[in-house]
Amino acid sequence: MNELTIVIATIVLAPIVGGLLFGIDRRITARLQGRYGPPILQPFYDFFKLLGKEGIAVSKMQFVWIYCYLILMIASLLCLVLRADFLVLVFLLGFAGVSLVLGGFSTKSPYSHFGANRELLQILAYEPVLLLLAVGIYAKNGTFLISAITAHEEPMLASLWPLFLAVLYVLTIKMRKSPFDIATSHHAHQEIVKGITTEFSGPFLAIYELTEWYEIVLLLGVIALFWANPLWVGLLIAFAAFLLELVVDNIAARMTARWMVRLSWSIGLFLGIVNIAYLYMTKGVF
Partner 1 sequence: MTDWMMAIAILLPVVSGLLILAVRNYFARGVIVVLTAVVLIANSLLFATKGPMTYTPSPGFDWATLIAVLDYAILVTYLVIGFKYRNWLVLLFTATQLIPLLYFEFIMKAHVHPEPAFVVDHLAIVMTLIISIIGSLICVYAIRYMRDHEEHLHLAKSRQSRFLFWLVLFLGAMNGLVFANNLVWLYFFWEVTTLCCFMLIAHDKTKIALENAARALWMNATGGTAFILGIIYLYVTQGGSSALSVQNIIGGNVHGAAMLLPVALLCYTGCTKAAQMPFQSWLLGAMVAPTPVSALLHSSTMVKAGVYLVLRFAPAYAGTYLSTAVAIVGAFTFFGASALAISQTTGKRVLAYSTIANLGLIIACAGINTPLSIAAAILLIIFHAISKGLLFLCAGAIEHQIWSREIEDMEGLAAKAPLVTLITAAGMLSMFLPPFGMLLGKWVALEAAYKVPLAAIFFVLASSLTIVFWTKWLGRLLEVMPKLGWPLEKLSPSYSVPLWTLFIGIFVIGIGIGPIYSSFISSATSNVISGMSAIVASSWSDIALTSSGAKGGAAVLGLFPLWSLYVVLGIALVLPMLFMGLKPTQLRQVYLCGEQSGGVDTDEWLAEADVKTKFILGGYYFQGTVGEKAMNPWVNTVAILLLAVMIGCGVFVR
Binding site for partner 1 (CB under 8 A): 54-61, 63-64, 67-68, 70-72, 75, 84-85, 87-88, 91-92, 94-95, 98-99, 101-102, 104-113, 116-117, 120-121, 123-124, 127-128, 131-132, 134-135, 138-139, 144-145, 193, 198-199, 269, 273, 276-277, 280, 285-286
Helix-helix angle 231-251:3-32, to 10 degrees? 30
Residue 92: how many CB atoms within 10 A of its CB? 21
Nearer to partner 1, 128 or 221 (CB): 128
The least distance separating partner 1 from the CB of residue 102, rounded to whole angstroms, comes to 6
The least distance separating partner 1 from the CB of residue 266, rounded to whole angstroms, comes to 12
The least distance separating partner 1 from the CB of residue 116, rounded to whole angstroms, comes to 6
CA–CA dist 163, 279 (Å, integer) = 12
Q: Which residues pair with 145 in a beta bridge?
A: 85
Nearer to partner 1, 30 or 277 (CB): 277
The least distance separating partner 1 from the CB of residue 98, rounded to whole angstroms, comes to 5
Q: Which residues pair with 85 in a beta bridge?
A: 145
The least distance separating partner 1 from the CB of residue 41, rounded to whole angstroms, comes to 29
CA–CA dist 173, 167 (Å, integer) = 10
CA–CA dist 22, 13 (Å, integer) = 14
Nearer to partner 1, 14 or 92 (CB): 92
Q: What angle do CA 168, 251, 249 make, to 5 degrees?
A: 45
The least distance separating partner 1 from the CB of residue 74, rounded to whole angstroms, comes to 9
CA–CA dist 263, 257 (Å, integer) = 10
CA–CA dist 19, 8 (Å, integer) = 18
Spatial contact of 196 and 183, defined as CB atoms under 8 Å apart: yes
Nearer to partner 1, 20 or 148 (CB): 148
Nearer to partner 1, 239 or 259 (CB): 259
Nearer to partner 1, 232 or 286 (CB): 286
